[in-house]
Chain A
């Protein structure tokens, strides 16, 4: 078995796969990025940015309020982006990659090209990842910059020489892993279900009840891993308590590796599914 895998890896046409993967990714990006159909996803990504921009224009920026704004930014990432913005944005982006092509009856063109189906799936995932990351990472960088811009030199100092840059790095990592984690799940759900939205709602519920589940099942949640990467933990109160996950503390590196493994596992199963995918548009 090991010999077979080694032979396969050694003889595999990696160069061709790379070219095909790059071209498929570019085709997907050309078709779907900057599309008016995705405008609601831009709204999800940049709605907080707009609010923070209004706060910059009309809010007070005394040195004592910087700590409060830091908590607010952490809350936006923890409660809004991770649980809602990235979740639904990735639902919109990734569930279209395969299912959208089936709805439009154009998937067969890719399945009739000399490309391994796994390469097709991973290229589409890469394109979805690039779209999601370029939106949400840009939004979070803009949020951070706008949040501290009103504090002048104190804000610059906090951001560049203080903990600000580290916090931004953590938020960016959370965004990357969140987009890829939710993206992998929604890509798979879109291949399993004709309409992935109800399954996504169930997944949202799963994410919410996850903290009360046994620790093994907690490993099957994207948000529970992301929680451990938050540089500032904002306790949830009132309605936000529903969006808060309290789990045993886990080191950041372990959470990152855990979520990466979860993404790899989900994508592996998606590859298995696409190998067996049949084109029967009338019944799909």
Chain B
């Protein structure tokens, strides 16, 4: 069995409207974030991956299985959709249990997995209440519990942090991270890029139905060489450092950090930049405490490539 999610030249048209166009992807295990503005095709990509919509052309396999083979496919795949609706009249635990019973497993095992999933999703006592009375955050959690209950190898999450409070977000991210570490595929689309970025192994950038870039965040950032990179340098004399660095051609912007103990520098030639910085540090004019890329993240790449603020997607 393959361990990849493969899109082979996939296009999807809704009548005359483009969903996604000629997407080819080869996604290895780990956490992959889909990034793009509203209507860019993120949900279409996820729906294609899980067979909720079918490609107009091209083919998709997940771990070597086609979505058309539902019996085997959905033993391996869990999908937490964005659709915020549920079958009528169910209690939280019944919803998860019903979906597990459809796998054909014995009731005792289904109960055990239900309780385990509810615990992992941190639903607590709410599991015994009707879903109709849930808050948005609880509905998000019960969907997540249902998606992970059968221990899938691939977990697809469409905006999984929507409606969650900061604590629940942190808990969910920790859970995704743990699942990714276990060797699972975790595919996430989210507009809360700052948070998702921290746990992602790869990003897939799409806009207008077209694939813009994909790969490891740092690799993708390196490929965007025509865009200046921003670096934060924590030091004791940021003004001196800024004036020194700004004297060279490739340094295009300098901005002091709010706390006055650092400076953001933007450069068009990162290799030359680090060479110069080493020289300044060796001279002993400035005591440098830390150097960190300030825009080597999905949000920055998103802004560079797509041209809008990632937070608005």
| Chain A positions near chain B (C-beta within 8 angstroms) | 13, 16, 19-20, 23-24, 27, 31, 101, 104-106, 108-117, 275-276, 278-281, 283
Contact = CB atoms under 8 A, between A and B. Distances in A.
Nearest to B15: A283
B52 A114 contact: no
A19 B102 CA distance: 8
A105 B84 CA distance: 8
B102 A24 contact: yes
Q: Which of A16, A104, A114 has the most CB of B within 10 A?
A: A114
B245 to A, nearest CB: 51
A68 B87 CA distance: 49
Nearest to B84: A105
Please classify how large the interface on chain B is, using the bins under 10, 10 to 19, 20 to 34, 35 or more.
20 to 34
Given A104-B85, A276-B54, A27 B74 contact: no
Given A16-B104, A27-B98, A111-B51, A105 B71 contact: no
B101 interface: yes
B83 A108 contact: yes
B274 interface: no
Given A24-B102, A31-B87, A105-B85, A279 B54 contact: no
Q: What secondary structure prevails in chain B residues at the interface with A?
A: loop
Given A278-B54, A283-B14, 10 more contacts: A16-B71, A20-B102, A24-B102, A27-B98, A111-B51, A112-B74, A112-B81, A113-B103, A276-B54, A279-B47
Nearest to A283: B14
Contact of B52 (A19, A23, A104, A108): A108
B65 to A, nearest CB: 11
Contacts of A20: 102, 104
A19 B104 contact: yes
B53 A278 contact: yes
Contact of A114 (B87, B98, B103): B103
Interface string B76-91: 0001010101111100
Contacts of A16: 71, 104
Interface in B88-131: 88-89, 98-99, 101-104
Interface in B153-170: none
A27 B47 CA distance: 25
Nearest to A110: B102
28 contacts: A13-B71, A19-B104, A20-B102, A23-B102, A24-B102, A104-B87, A104-B88, A108-B83, A109-B87, A109-B146, A111-B51, A112-B50, A112-B74, A112-B81, A113-B102, A114-B71, A114-B72, A114-B102, A114-B103, A115-B70, A115-B102, A116-B70, A116-B71, A117-B70, A278-B53, A278-B54, A279-B53, A281-B83
B104 A280 contact: no
B99 A113 contact: yes
Contacts of A27: 87, 98
A280 B81 CA distance: 12
Contacts of B72: 114
Q: Which of B73, B74, B89, B98 has the most CB of A within 10 A?
A: B98
Contact of B101 (A23, A110, A279): A23
A279 B52 contact: yes
B34 to A, nearest CB: 18
Nearest to A114: B74
A115 B68 CA distance: 11
A117 B52 CA distance: 12
Contact of A115 (B47, B50, B51, B71): B71
A115 B232 CA distance: 53
A108 B81 contact: yes
B1 to A, nearest CB: 16
Contacts of A116: 70-71
| 3 shortest interchain CB distances as A-B pairs | A114-B74, A105-B85, A279-B52
Nearest to B89: A31
Nearest to A113: B102
Contacts of B89: 31
A271 to B, nearest CB: 13
B62 to A, nearest CB: 13
A281 B84 CA distance: 11
Contacts of B261: none
A114 B70 contact: yes
Given A20-B102, A115-B71, A106 B79 contact: no
B22 to A, nearest CB: 20
B99 A109 contact: yes
A112 B52 contact: yes
Contacts of A276: 54
Nearest to B19: A280
A117 B73 CA distance: 13
Given A112-B74, A112-B79, A106 B87 contact: yes
Contacts of A19: 104
A13 B101 CA distance: 16
B60 to A, nearest CB: 14
Nearest to A23: B101
Contacts of B47: 279
B75 interface: yes
